[in-house]
Chain A
Amino acid sequence: MSLVSGLLSHTLGRVLWLSGLHSGYHAQGSPAMEQDRALEVYDIIRTIRDPEKPNTLEELEVVTESCVEVHEIGEDEYLVIIRFTPTVPHCSLATLIGLCLRIKLQRCLPFKHKLEIYISEGAHSTEEDINKQINDKERVAAAMENPNLREIVEQCVTEPD
C-alpha cells in the first residue's frame, strides 16, 4: 500500500511539476520582486469601494497589505492570491467583492497574472462554497453579463476623478 501511495505521490509530483503548479508554490522568483508585485496589487485593490458603504475596502479593512501574496510562476507571469474579509456574513456581497477584485485587477494590473481569491477563514458562514465560486471563470463570465451586477461592479472599481 505504501509503495502504491509512494508511486502515486511521485507521479503526482511529476505531473504537477510538468503543469507548472509545483514550481509556482516554491520561491522561484526573488522574494523582493514578489513583494514589490504584491504591493502593486494592493495599491490597485485598496481603492475599490464597498458595494454597500461609501468607504474603500482599505478603510473597512476588508483587504490589507498582508492579504496579498504573489508568486512567480513563469517568465513575467505571476500567481496572485488574495484573501479578503467581508464586513458582513452575506453571501451576495462577498461574491460582489470578489468580482470587483477580479475585474479591477484584470483591467489595471500591468503584468500577466493568474488570480485566486479566497475568503479569510472564519469570516463567513458559507465561505467554502463562495471561495470556489469566486474563482470559477464560467460563473464570473455569467455574472458580468447581468447588467445590474455589472453596473454595481463598475461603480465600485471606477476611481473617482
Chain B
Amino acid sequence: PSCSPVEPLLLAELKPGRPQQYDWKASCETWSVAFSPDGTWFAWSQGHCIVKLIPWPLEEAELSCKASERKNRGIKADVRGRGGSKEKTLECGQIVWGLAFSPWPPSGAKERDGLRAPGQSCLILATGLNDGQIKVWEVQTGHFLFNLSGHLDVVRDLSFTPNGSLILVSASRDKTLRIWDLSRDGASKQVQVLSGHRQWVYCCSISPDCSMLCSAAGEKSAFLWSMRSYTLIRKLEGHQSSVVSCDFSPDSALLVTASYDTCVIMWDPYTGEQLRTLRHVLLPPALDYGGDIHVSSLRSVCFSPEGLYLATVADDRLLRIWDLELRTPVAFAPMTNGLCCVYFPHGGFIATGTRDGHVQFWSAPKVLSSLKHLCRKALRTFLTTYQVLALPIPKKMKEFLTYRTF
C-alpha cells in the first residue's frame, strides 16, 4: 500500500543543561539512548559521564501547548533538561557507552541490595563504561546497586533478555561478549565469555524469543550465537566494512545489520540468507580514493515494534524510515552527527542521540498492520524458518511467512 511520505516531525529535543564551555569537548557524546520495555522510563547518556533517567511521557504540558503551532509550522518543542522531581541523574564517573533496561522482579523472596518492599516491581538500568565495568542502577531511586567486572576495555553495548530472566549480554572493545546472570547471588555473576571476534565488538542484540544473539564488530562478518548453548551458530558475511549495529524483528524472524559500507542487510537468522540490501547512497558509490568515507556510513538501525518499519541513522545527516515492503525510504529527517536511534516500545516515535549530547524525538509513521502481517508475526514468534517450510501449505504462503515476499 503506498502512502504519501510523512516527514518525521521533530517533537522535542533535550539538551544537557551544562555550562557551554563543556559543549563539544571530548566525551560529550550521547552514545546510547534507551526506553524501558514498558515505556515508562527513558535513559539518556548525555555525555561527560552522566546518564539521565526521565520518566515517560515527558512533561505533557510543554508538548501539548505547543502542539497547535507545531502541526502547521513544524516547530519543535524545546524541553530543557529540567530538574523534575522524578528525573534521576546517574553519575557514572566515566564515559557511558551502553545502556540497557530490565524489569527486576519484586523482592518477595529475595531481600537483597535494599530493593523495594514486596509487591512493587522495579526496573534496573545497566550502564557500560569506559574501563570495562558495568554498573547496575535501580531506576526508581537512581541508586547504584552493584558492579559487574570482567571486561578489559570499553563496554560498548548491552542487551537484556526480553523475558525478564535477568540474563545480560555485554559487547566490548576487548573483542569479547560476556553473558551475566543477574539473578545469581554473590560476586561471580559471569556465566560465559564469547570469543571469536578479532576486532572491537560494537553492538549486541538478543532476539525477542531469547534464542539467538547477534554481535557486530569492526570486521566484515556479524556473528550469530545461540543463547541456549552460548556457542556460535554462524557468521554472517556480506558487508564490506565494520558492522556497527544490529537488531532483530519483533517476531525474531528477521535480523538487520548496518555497516560503515553504507548498507543495511536484512537476513533470515535461521538460514543465514541475505533477503534484502538497503543502500544509503543516492549516487553511484564514490571512488575509493580518499573514500568520502564519512558520507552515508551507517551508525544505527532499529526495527519498529510492529515489525514493518526500520529506522536508520547515517553519517549523511539523515534519519531514514524504511518500509520493509519497499526498497527505498519512505521518510527522511535531517539530523547532524547522529549516533544512535531507538523506537518507543509502543510505536509512534523514535529517539535519536547525537554527538553533541543532544537527544531528539521524532514522530514515526503510525501504521495499522494488515491482518496478513499480524498472522505472520504471530506464527513466526514461535516457528523457525525451517518449521514454516515443513508446513503443508502453498508455496506462496511459505514465501510470505518466511519474509521472502512481503
Q: Which of B72-99 contact A (CB under 8 A)?
A: 82-83, 89, 91, 93-94
Query: CB-CB < 8 A to B244: which residues of A?
Result: 138
Query: CB-CB < 8 A to A70: which residues of B?
Result: none
CB of A79 to closest CB in B, whole Å: 9
Partner among B89, B288, B290 whose Cβ is within 8 Å of the Cβ of A11 = B89
CA distance A120 to B241 in the complex (A): 30
Q: Is B27 an interface residue, CB under 8 A from the partner?
A: yes
CA distance A135 to B95 in the complex (A): 15
On whether the beta carbons of B48 and A9 are closer than 8 Å, the reply is no
CA distance A95 to B26 in the complex (A): 18
CA distance A8 to B355 in the complex (A): 21
Q: How large is the interface on B (under 10, 10 to 19, 20 to 34, 35 or more residues)?
A: 35 or more
Contact with A along B155-189 (1 / 0, CB 8 A): 00000000000000000000000000000000000
| A to B contact number (C-beta, < 8 Å) | 103
Q: Most chain-A CB neighbours within 10 Å: which of B26, B244, B288, B290?
A: B290
On whether the beta carbons of A91 and B289 are closer than 8 Å, the reply is no
On whether the beta carbons of B290 and A92 are closer than 8 Å, the reply is yes
Partner among B18, B218, B294, B337 whose Cβ is within 8 Å of the Cβ of A8 = B18
Stretch in A12-20, A33-41, A42-50, A104-112 with 4+ CB within 8 Å of B: A12-20
CA distance A12 to B336 in the complex (A): 25
On whether the beta carbons of B241 and A142 are closer than 8 Å, the reply is yes
On whether the beta carbons of A141 and B200 are closer than 8 Å, the reply is yes
Closest Cβ neighbor of B19 among chain A residues: A9
Q: Is A30 an interface residue, CB under 8 A from the partner?
A: no
CB of A94 to closest CB in B, whole Å: 10
Query: CB-CB < 8 A to A66: which residues of B?
Result: none
Q: Report whether over half of chain A's contact residues are helix, strand or loop; otherwise say mixed.
A: helix
CB of B291 to closest CB in A, whole Å: 6
On whether the beta carbons of A12 and B50 are closer than 8 Å, the reply is yes
Q: Is B119 an interface residue, CB under 8 A from the partner?
A: no
CA distance A148 to B291 in the complex (A): 9
Query: CB-CB < 8 A to B291: which residues of A?
Result: 92, 95-96, 143, 146, 148-149
On whether the beta carbons of A148 and B48 are closer than 8 Å, the reply is no
On whether the beta carbons of A129 and B18 are closer than 8 Å, the reply is no
On whether the beta carbons of B242 and A16 are closer than 8 Å, the reply is no
Partner among A116, A128, A138, A143 whose Cβ is within 8 Å of the Cβ of B26 = A116
> Given that A8-B18, A142-B241 are contacting pairs, would A128 and B93 also be in contact in the complex, using a CB cutoff of 8 Å?
no
Partner among B83, B94, B199, B293 whose Cβ is within 8 Å of the Cβ of A92 = B293
Q: Is B202 an interface residue, CB under 8 A from the partner?
A: yes
Query: CB-CB < 8 A to A133: which residues of B?
Result: 294, 315
> Given that A130-B294, A142-B242, A149-B293 are contacting pairs, would A15 and B288 also be in contact in the complex, using a CB cutoff of 8 Å?
no
Closest Cβ neighbor of A18 among chain B residues: B93
Closest Cβ neighbor of B50 among chain A residues: A15
Q: Is B66 an interface residue, CB under 8 A from the partner?
A: no
Query: CB-CB < 8 A to B295: which residues of A?
Result: 91
Closest Cβ neighbor of A134 among chain B residues: B294
Q: Is B292 an interface residue, CB under 8 A from the partner?
A: yes
On whether the beta carbons of A8 and B17 are closer than 8 Å, the reply is yes
Closest Cβ neighbor of B337 among chain A residues: A132
Contact with A along B267-301 (1 / 0, CB 8 A): 00000000000000000001011111111010000
CA distance A139 to B89 in the complex (A): 30
Q: Is A32 an interface residue, CB under 8 A from the partner?
A: no
Give me the interface of B with A, judged by CB distance under 8 Å. 17-19, 22, 25-27, 48-50, 82-83, 89, 91, 93-94, 199-200, 202, 218, 241-242, 244, 260, 286, 288-295, 297, 315, 317, 336-337, 355
In the complex, 24 of the A-B residue pairs with CB atoms within 8 angstroms, ordered by the A residue number, are A5-B17, A8-B17, A8-B18, A12-B18, A12-B48, A15-B48, A15-B91, A16-B22, A19-B93, A19-B94, A91-B294, A92-B291, A92-B292, A93-B290, A95-B290, A96-B291, A128-B337, A129-B317, A129-B336, A132-B337, A133-B315, A138-B200, A139-B260, A142-B260
Which 4 residue pairs are nearest across A and B when measured between Cβ atoms? A92-B290, A4-B83, A142-B242, A148-B288
